[in-house]
Amino acid sequence: MLITLRSTLYFFTMITSIAVFGLAIATIGLLLPLPARDRMAAAWGSTNLWLMKVLCGLKYRIHGAENLPEHAAIVMCKHQSAWETIALKAIIRPQQSWILKQELMRLPVFGWALAAIPNIPIDRSAGRQAVKQIVKRGTELLDQGRVIILFPEGTRTAPGERKKYGIGGAMLAEKSGYPIIPIAHNAGVFWRRRGLKKYPGTIDLVVGEAFDPAGMNASEITRKVETWIEAEVTKLPAKP
């Protein structure tokens, strides 16, 4: 019962934070240079990590923090929960752009904030055309020094489950030549993909070493990322 109450309280504070930060980014932020908007988005992530810790007793620890990108790179992360969509905003350098489903851009306030920062919204049903868009726009943003973040599974998967890894991020790596950094975690154990409850405890997030995609095709890159992420996930605690 207490977990439900604390989780509900956090839910409402999260919604409030989206309204406050989202409106600020989409209004005042548009009058400021892009780095300022990036920092505002990072502050939203940091605020929510603090709220989760205070209200839900949900903390995190990073293994391999030295591998976090300092320059342009492609980050491919396991997708189990809403937690990582919040946390990576704070954990990774502010100059970041996300590959995301275009439906998110239509959401009031949240979508406006996403549009104020150079992200890459895609139509997941567009197939090859979507991949071309990822490669073209992703390379442009990487050349500007930004970090591209994506979830190769495309959708959240419950702990212990696996979904096919998409090839879009790997195609971007193959064509652009920028390094790839894989990330594994067990956030879904504490914040389930369709659940309100946030169980207290400590999420483990593992950042792998960057690797150069030179000489590899997209399929080989995908297999390398998937093998590393899934192997790391199996090592992490599976219970709160």
Nearby residues of 120 by Cβ (< 8 Å), 6 or more positions away: 97, 98, 99, 100, 133, 134, 137, 138, 141, 148
Low-confidence spans in the chain with pLDDT less than 50 = none
Choose among 174, 178, 185: nearest CA to 220.
174
Q: Which domains does the chain have, with CATH numbers?
A: 2-235 (3.40.1130)
pTM score, whole prediction:
0.95
Contacts of 67 (CB under 8 A, 6+ apart): 181, 207, 208, 209, 210
Q: 155: phi > 0 → left, psi -120 to 50 → alpha, else beta; which?
A: beta
Beta bridge partners of 202: 59
Could you tell me if 228 and 206 are in contact, meaning their C-beta atoms sit under 8 angstroms apart? no
Q: What is the pLDDT of residue 2?
A: 93
Please return the burial class of 238, using the count of CB atoms within 10 Å of its CB with bins 0-12, 13-18 and 19+.
exposed
Going from the C-alpha of 175 to that of each of 71, 73, 123, 139, 214, the distances in angstroms are 18, 13, 21, 8, 9
Q: What distance in Å separates the CA atoms of residue 65 and residue 197, rounded to the nearest whole number?
A: 28
pLDDT score recorded for residue 240? 86
Q: What is the pLDDT of residue 194?
A: 82
How far is 69 from 15, CA to CA, in rounded Å?
29
Amino acid found at 138 = G
pLDDT in tens, 178-197: 999 999 999 999 999 888 89
